[in-house]
Amino acid sequence: MSKNYKEAFSKTRLAGSIAAGALDEVAKIVKPGIRTKEIDKLCYEFINDHKAFSAPLFYRGFPKSCCTSTNHVVCHGIPSEKELKEGDIVNVDVTAVKDGWHGDTSRTFEIGEVSIKAKKLVKVTYEAMMKAINIVKEDIHLGDIGATIQKHVEAEGFSVVQDFCGHGIGEVFHKEPNVLHYGQSGSGEKVKAGMIFTIEPMINLGKYETKTLNDGWTAVTKDKSLSAQFEHTIGVTSNGCEIFTLPKKN
């Protein structure tokens, strides 16, 4: 690994492990009856206990330490009094900042037993993210990432959200490049070793369109169909990439 990005990788590795660690703890408490504000409290405390802070908290006025996006909520759901119930799916998205560097990750959790369709949506969304991560190395095109995700998702009859994308990340939360989760292979800029960005596909059971609710944050599917998401922060190397936000046990 070149000296130039060794430090960026090690800082992101640390921030990423804190964000992933928060989700490992969330995994233990997400059960029917839990309120999404309790997930937020856990994330806030876990991140603070690791001498880091939450990037979402007060980001452009966002009021909480994580996003909790349930069922037809695509992303940016605001933790609240809302109780999760058996059969729900909920995405929890955490971004920790440690020593000025960001680690951003999300997972979709199943609350108790969920429908076969919901289970398949969650599985296909995770697979799409991992298939994309597995093709990343120096000199691929950004469009190869989107094409890989779109192909897998559409083959299963689901759709890729186009209104939100992955992003470069580092000492700032969101930076270039935009990492689209759909598109043509061979299109877009070439990926270079040392780049750090997220891959975070949002996949809908129905149509791809979204709209934002009056709170200015909560994005939902227009057709009210279920939506799932997973996110990792990765760093590109000459022969592959490193995932900075893996769960502890994997």
Out of 40, 88, 93, 242, name the contact with ligand MF3 by CB under 6 A.
93
Q: Closer CB to Co ion, residue 63 or residue 87?
A: 63
Number of residues that bind ligand MF3 (CB under 6 A): 11
Residue 130 tokens read as: 């991992």
Min CB(104)–Co ion separation in Å: 4
Angle CA(204)–CA(160)–CA(57) in degrees, nearest 5? 80
- Residue whose beta carbon is closest to ligand MF3: 56
Min CB(209)–ligand MF3 separation in Å: 20
Min CB(56)–ligand MF3 separation in Å: 3
Per DSSP, helices labelled H in 30-115 are: 36-49
> Tokens 């007060």 label which residue?
58
CA distance 141 to 108: 27
Contact 169, 186 (CB under 8 A): no
Out of 68, 91, 148, 198, name the contact with Co ion by CB under 5 A.
198
* Residues 6 or more apart in contact with residue 114 via CB below 8 angstroms: 87, 88, 89, 122
The strands making up 175-179's β-sheet, listed across from edge to edge, are: 175-179, 166-168, 196-199, 232-236, 241-243
CA distance 95 to 6: 21
Contact 71, 89 (CB under 8 A): yes
Out of 104, 124, 147, 236, name the contact with ligand MF3 by CB under 6 A.
104
Give the footprint of ligand MF3 on residues 9-48 (CB under 6 A).
none
| Interaction between residue 104 and Co ion (CB under 5 A) | yes
Give the footprint of ligand MF3 on residues 109-168 (CB under 6 A).
none
Residue 193 tokens read as: 């070793």
Select from 24-32, 41-49, 194-202, 242-250 the region that touches Co ion (CB under 5 A): 194-202
Out of 6, 45, 48, 59, name the contact with ligand MF3 by CB under 6 A.
59
Min CB(64)–ligand MF3 separation in Å: 8
Phi, psi (degrees; rounded to nearest 5) at 188: 80, 175
Out of 13, 76, 98, 232, name the contact with ligand MF3 by CB under 6 A.
76
Min CB(200)–ligand MF3 separation in Å: 5
Min CB(140)–ligand MF3 separation in Å: 21
* Residues 6 or more apart in contact with residue 85 via CB below 8 angstroms: 32, 33, 111
- Residues in touch with ligand MF3 (CB under 6 A): 56, 59, 62, 67, 76, 93, 95, 104, 200, 217, 231
- Residues in touch with Co ion (CB under 5 A): 93, 104, 198, 231
